[in-house]
Structure 1
Amino acid sequence: MADLRIVEEGLGRTQLVEQEQDDGKDSENGINKEKGLERSEVQDEQKGELQLQQLLQQKSKRVATLDAFRGLTVVLMILVDDAGGAYARIDHSPWNGCTLADFVMPFFLFIVGVAIALALKKVPKINGAVKKIIFRTLKLLFWGIILQGGYSHAPDALSYGVDMKHIRWCGILQRIALVYVVVALIETLTTKRRPNVLEPRHLSIFTAYQWQWIGGFIAFVIYIITTYSLYVPNWSFSEHSDHGVKKYIVKCGMRGHLGPACNAVGYVDRELWGINHLYSDPVWSRLEACTLSSPNSGPLREDAPSWCRAPFEPEGLLSTISAILSGTIGIHYGHVLIHFKGHSARLKHWVSMGFGLLIIATILHFTNAIPINKQLYSFSYVCFTAGAAGIVFSALYVLMDVWELRTPFLFLKWIGMNAMLVFVLGAQGILAGFVNGWYYKNPDNTLVNWIQNHLFIHVWNSERLGTLLYVIFAEITFWGVVAGILHRLGIYWKL
């Protein structure tokens, strides 16, 4: 962070610079007279030096909103993952609709796009940048398979390992990796074709980065054509239990279906990965057609359709292609941050685009043209969540970078600066699983369970409220403190 605060363009100079100029004013005038320089020339020279100084300061100033938004997304993930079982209304929507949990993935992709724009605004060597992008993508894929492929059983099961016949190839980090590599490569390979200064036209920010939007449009076309035109035949799966293996058949034979059983998104993943490599506990099992406990989890109805028991991949290939649009919109917000120098100009563009996307999504959803659906990553879902991300990002920008109210958001900033560490150890339960490795008499009698039961659930005499308070104070607050300590020590884990 620069020592001098940067004042908005046209509002004047900083007090420190003015004070230094006043202190040395008399001596400078004497020297200038001896040299025979005109006062106007000296003033012009001073203004040029001041502008250069402010420009250097502005380049070194870190936008606090980036870290806070990233931290907010990690906090939301911990909240909905660990408290969603107690409060189904914040857990993922069983099918159509959008809940708090459904904002997590697109928020991640949005901020990844913003960060790409800032990181790659100047690419000195394209080959070197491409190598770094590929290497980072491979690291994300590796950690994604380790954490969500089934190898880790943390935090509750004290075992590890996965049968390669049932390993899950897709997941959160895998989706982020694929969106990242596409968006970042387009940004890198087109670096020589974009102008340094935008032309004074309303759409110049879009035309300057037309290849990014072309890439997003191609992803949109592939997703739409495949979703509505691909023929989905009947399919089958087997369920293993103590009573043996039972085979189920799901009858489809249709195109363009957007329901759980016969959509093209699931069909592509079954054909590409194999049904044994898909997520085995999909959220659609909480639908009313599957359980009387809907929207909560519960035993399946006796007359539940066969697909209620089937696996489904929420981070599959076709839905990830659609998710590229989330990254494209995010990188556009980053481009605005680079080229629009005034707070007002940035916010006008961000907010208007955010509300525009929300309106488009609302119309598509309530006319039933394209329902908002996280599992399918529908176009209306992209617009709704990206619009919400843009509004939240703008609000944080006003609070933290315009009004400079940063102290209330320190926890979010610290978590955002160490997002990968908190994601792995906290959101994926690796630290809790490690602590659970020491138990007394039986594996359920662990320190983590004791804290949750005795300090929260029993005290409040409510499993739901106790679970929520445990997540807020023993997880989110805990990781905020840990991230703050690591920040003070200058320790960060980045891929």
Structure 2
Amino acid sequence: MASGGSLSALCLALLGSALLLAVRSIASAVPGQDVDLSRERPLELKMDQALLLIHNVGGESFTVYWLSDHCYQCLYQRLVIVPGAVTSRPFNVAAVPVDSQHPVTLQLNDTAKNQEMCRVHYSFGEFGNYSLWVRQSLFGGVRAVSCELIVNKSPVSSSLPILLAVLFYGGVGIIWTLGYFVVRLGPVRNWIYKKMNPVETDRLINSELGSPNRADAGGQGAHPGAWSSSVPQRLRSLDTFRGLSLIIMVFVNYGGGKYWFFKHESWNGLTLADLVFPWFVFIMGTSIFLSLNSMLRKGCAKWRLLLKVLWRSFLLFLIGVFVINPNYCLGPLSLSNLRIFGVLQRLSLTYLVVSVLELLFIKAMPNNFTSGGAWAPLQDVVMYWPQWILVILLETVWLCLTFLLPVPDCPLGYLGPGGIGDFGQYPNCTGGAAGYIDRTVLGEEHIYQHPSSNVIYQSTVAYDPEGLLGTINAVVLAFLGLQAGKILLFYKDQHNQIIRRFFIWGIIMGIISAILTKCSQNEGFIPINKNLWSISYVTTLCCFAFLLLLLIYYLVDVKKLWSGAPFVFPGMNSILVYVGHEVFENYFPFKWKIDNRSHGQHLAQNLVATSLWVLISYVLYKRRIFWKI
């Protein structure tokens, strides 16, 4: 027993010495800096990071470089230099944080000769603890190197909060659905209808950015049988679509739980955050057509409509510049660094251009519209051929400026992120012609200072994803949304026709996207890119929008299986919700102090804040309060 106890004590002593040596040798090195082995403070990890201990056993010093799989054609970045072994220390250890969002490749180069020693490809888990053992030995004058990666501590399950949130909101949705079917029961429904006056509510609802009045659209006053049952439901579909886009937008703007897939894509490609703004633009175009047609049928003069459009556009632009401006984070409002463009500014210009384009050629649709002849299947396109020509000319302007405008020190037609992309050849060419135009016309201090490209591609120049050139394609997107409004009006009460045409337009847009992108993220003629608002981005999001609107229309209007709740409520007060969530973003109860290292706490906070805006919009709906401009 004494011998066993002595052996145990000796093992514990050796283990304690080894742990002490490891702790003393761990340095909190920052990627791109040398390791300071004298530091004893343990490395504090952030979200989406793992701890990597790099052990250099019996060899010369080497440099570790890293490259994210998500970074297309990028240069390797230096992670750390690990010194060689010395007599007093048989091995050296360097501790560094590594990215856990995407798989990475680690490349080890001999520091003296800069020759590659080995390469490791691995997907690290958040807050995991890993060791990379690098053993060097000489056999017959030839150095042999082995690299082995082991897991010291398993990572946490960072996606578990998402699963819990899905289960929670799924349960709420089930309860809501059951309540909806109970309300639809005859006795219950009759009692509720006696307590409410839906006609007055419908009269008040005139959603922003050109949405038509629900009670007046389509002119059911003249033909109540044709429109009373169909148009309000169709407009409810539009409100639902708009509200869905808006609520996702609010969620991702609040942080999306700090998950990378709820943030904007760094450059080419799509995430959830990249879908919602284009959908909002699309449905705005749909509403513009229905609204203008409704007002023209009432006898409203075009010049009065033009004044109304100009006033709305002006107000939207002012709100975007002076109320919602991300450059405020640089300090008090200053004209020297005021961001000129943004989300509302782009909506303003898009609304103005599309509305004016429609006013130039629109004619009030009669209630009993019918058409015949060879062009009958294309009546919703052929009747507006001048508009299509002008839109095609606009897109030609975008293509010419994008691919033919010379940009200093950049290749012609460059669509890349700059920074370390394209193997670091064009570091200051972020966005190509789009970035150059904004920096030249608006000034570098008046555009967005923190583009998503600097996250992975480490770009250093300012770039505005809502800049001038991309606004052209926003107009094209809204015009395609306008087409959805024409379909709803031309084929009123013909559910199969509407569904069929939505589907056909979605397929056409999808085919165009497949050709432009070659069904790849980075290798196509024109990749999908939210920062550039590339034409492939427009056609892809139009494809999704037509198919999603088809689904909502089928569920809400045709089969009446869904009332559109809860998204229909923020959809009716979209400007108020959008402006409100931006203005009160940093105020309780939308934000409070939490652990910045916890995805779960961030997700809970962002979901609570988003849900509050849904609740606010519901209360406003019940009180018949609708803010429009």
TM-score bracket, shorter-length normalisation: 0.7 to 0.9
For residues 53 and 380 of structure 1, do their structure 2 counterparts lie closer, same or farther at Cα, with a shift above 3 Å needed? Answer: closer
> Which range moved further: 187-196 or 378-387?
187-196
Gaps of 5+ in 1: 1-50, 235-251, 291-307, 437-446
- State the Cα deviation string for residues 183-232 of structure 1 (Å, max 9, x = none): 11111121249785443522221111223322321210110011010000
Q: How many aligned positions are there?
A: 384
Please name the residue that 2:540 is paired with. 384
**Mapped contact 1:98–1:372 kept (Cα < 8 A):** yes
Is this contact kept in 2: 1:146–1:152, CA < 8 A?
Answer: no
Per-residue deviation, 1:346: 0.3
Distance across 2 between alignment mates of 1:228 and 1:448: 44
The answer to whether the Cα contact below 8 Å between 1:186 and 1:211 also exists between their aligned partners in 2 is: no
* Aligned residue runs from structure 1 range 319-398, under 5 A: 319-341=470-492, 342-366=494-518, 368-398=524-554
Aligned residue type for 1:325: V
In the other structure, the counterpart of 1:81 is 253
Contact persistence 1:79–1:471 (CA under 8 A): yes
- Residue 177 of structure 1 and its aligned partner are, at CA, apart by 0.8
The 3 A distance-change label for structure 1 pair 107 and 475 is same
User: Which residue number corresponds to residue 417 of structure 1?
Assistant: 572
Are 2:394 and 1:219 equivalent residues in the alignment?
A: yes
1:189 correspondence with 2:360: yes
Report the equivalent of 1:449: 592
Using a 3 Å threshold, how does the CA distance of structure 1 residues 95 and 432 change in structure 2: closer, same or farther? closer
Q: Distance in 2 between matches of 1:194 and 1:432?
A: 43
Q: CA deviation at 1:82?
A: 2.1
Distance 1:56 1:90, change over 3 A: closer
1:489 to partner: Cα distance: 0.5
C-alpha distance in 1 between matches for 2:231 and 2:536: 37
Could you tell me which of 368, 372, 380 is aligned with 1:199? 372
Contact 2:293/2:364 (8 A) holds in 1: no
Residue aligning to 2:86: none
Given the superposition, is the C-alpha separation of residues 60 and 282 from structure 1 closer, same or farther in structure 2, using an over 3 Å criterion? closer
Q: Secondary structure at 1:186's aligned position in 2?
A: helix
Query: Aligned partner of 1:281: which letter?
Result: H
User: SS where residue 314 of structure 2 aligns?
Assistant: helix
Aligned to 2:600: 465
Asked whether 1:257 is paired with 2:414, we answer: yes
Q: Does 1:270 align with 2:443?
A: no
- Within a 5 Å distance, the mapping from 1:43-62 to structure 2 comes to 52-55=223-226, 57-58=228-229, 61-62=232-233
Could you tell me which amino acid in structure 1 is paired with residue 313 of structure 2?
A: T
Shift of 1:363: 2.6
Bigger helix fraction: 1
TM-score of the aligned structures, taking structure 1 as reference length: 0.73
- Deviation string 1:308-364 (CA, Å, 9 cap, x unpaired) is 121101001111012111001000000000011211100100011112212221231
Contact 2:327/2:339 (<8 A) preserved = no
CA distance in 1, matches of 2:539, 2:620: 36
The aligned residue for residue 562 of structure 2 is: 406
Deviations for 1:117-147, whole angstroms, at most 9, x for unmatched residues? 1101142311100000001100110111023
Change (3 A) 1:391 1:60: closer
The alignment partner of 2:244 has SS state of helix
The 2-side partners of 1:191 and 1:58 are apart by 25
Contact 2:513 2:540 in 1 (8 A): yes
Amino acid at match of 1:279: Y
Counterpart of 1:94 in structure 2 is 266
Cα 1:431–1:225 change in 2 (3 A) is: same
State the partner residue of 2:4: none
User: Hey, what does 1:487 align to over in structure 2?
Assistant: 621
Aligned pairs for 1:240-251 (under 5 A) are none
| Separation (CA, whole Å) in 2 of partners of 1:370 and 1:355 | 19
- Report the equivalent of 2:584: 431
CA distance change for structure 1 residues 375 and 150 in 2, over 3 Å: closer, same or farther?
A: closer
Q: Retained in 2: the 8 A contact 1:150–1:162?
A: no
Cα distance change, pair 198–279 in 1 and its aligned pair in 2 (3 A): farther
Q: Contact (CA 8 Å) 1:95, 1:374: kept in 2 or not? A: yes
SS in 2 for 1:328: helix
Find the counterpart in structure 1 of residue 325 from structure 2. Answer: 149
Q: Deviations over 1:422-445 (max 9, x none)?
A: 11112x1x2244548xxxxxxxxx
Write 1 or 2 for the structure with the bigger share of strand.
Answer: 2
Asked if the contact 2:346/2:471 (under 8 Å) is kept, the reply is yes
SS where residue 377 of structure 2 aligns?
coil
Give, in whole Å, the separation in 1 of the partners of 2:556 and 2:319. 32
* Structure 2 counterpart of 1:129: 305
- In structure 2, distance between residues paired with 1:60 and 1:204: 20
Correspondences of 1:8-87 after superposition (within 5 Å): 52-55=223-226, 57-58=228-229, 61-62=232-233, 63-84=235-256, 86-87=258-259
57-66 or 413-422, which deviates more:
57-66
Following the alignment from structure 2 to structure 1, what is the Cα–Cα distance between the partners of residues 554 and 358? 27
Cα gap change, 1:104 to 1:337, in 2 (>3 Å): same
SS in 1 for 2:346: helix
Q: Which residue of 1 aligns with 2:65?
A: none
Whole-Å Cα distance in 2 between the matches of residues 336 and 203 of structure 1?
A: 10
Kindly indicate whether structure 1 or structure 2 has the higher relative contact order, using CA contacts under 8 Å at least 6 residues apart: 1
2:335 corresponds to = 164
Please show how residues 104-143 of structure 1 align to structure 2 within 5 Å.
104-122=276-294, 123=296, 124=299, 125-143=301-319
Give the SS at the match of 2:288: helix
Post-superposition offset of 1:78: 1.5
The answer to whether the Cα contact below 8 Å between 1:148 and 1:168 also exists between their aligned partners in 2 is no
**Residue 178 (structure 1) aligned with residue 353 (structure 2):** no
- For 1:225 and 1:73, the matched residues in 2 are separated by 31
RMSD value, Cα = 2.5
Which range moved further: 54-63 or 370-379? 54-63
- 1:37-87 deviation per Cα after TM superposition (whole angstroms, max 9, x unaligned): xxxxxxxxxxxxxx9441252476352111111111111112222234611
Counterparts of 1:379 and 1:139, CA distance in 2: 28
Letter matched to residue 310 of structure 2: I
Quickly say closer, same or farther: Cα 1:198–1:87, change in 2 above 3 A.
Answer: farther
Task: State the TM-score, normalized to the length of structure 2.
Answer: 0.58
Q: Quick check: 1:114–1:333 contact (8 Å CA) kept in 2?
A: yes
SS at match of 2:565: helix
- What's the offset of the Cα at 1:397? 0.7
Summarize deviations over 1:76-121 as a string: whole Å, max 9, x none. Answer: 1122222346111221111111111111221111011000011011
Q: Distance in 2 between matches of 1:311 and 1:469?
A: 32
Deviating 4+ runs (over 4 angstroms):
150-153, 193-196
Closer, same or farther: CA 168–85 of 1 in aligned 2, 3 Å: farther
User: Are residue 314 (structure 1) and residue 314 (structure 2) matched?
Assistant: no
Say if 1:178 and 1:373 are closer, same or farther in 2 by CA, change over 3 A: same
Distance in 2 separating the partners of 1:197 and 1:218 = 30
CA contact (8 A) 2:230 2:557 kept: no
Compute the displacement of 1:464 (Å). 0.9
Q: Distance in 1 between matches of 2:449 and 2:566?
A: 34
Shift of 1:286: 1.7
In our comparison, the structure showing a higher alpha carbon Rg is 2
User: Identity over aligned residues, as a percent?
Assistant: 30
Query: CA separation in 2, counterparts of 1:98 and 1:464?
Result: 21
CA drift at 1:174 = 0.6
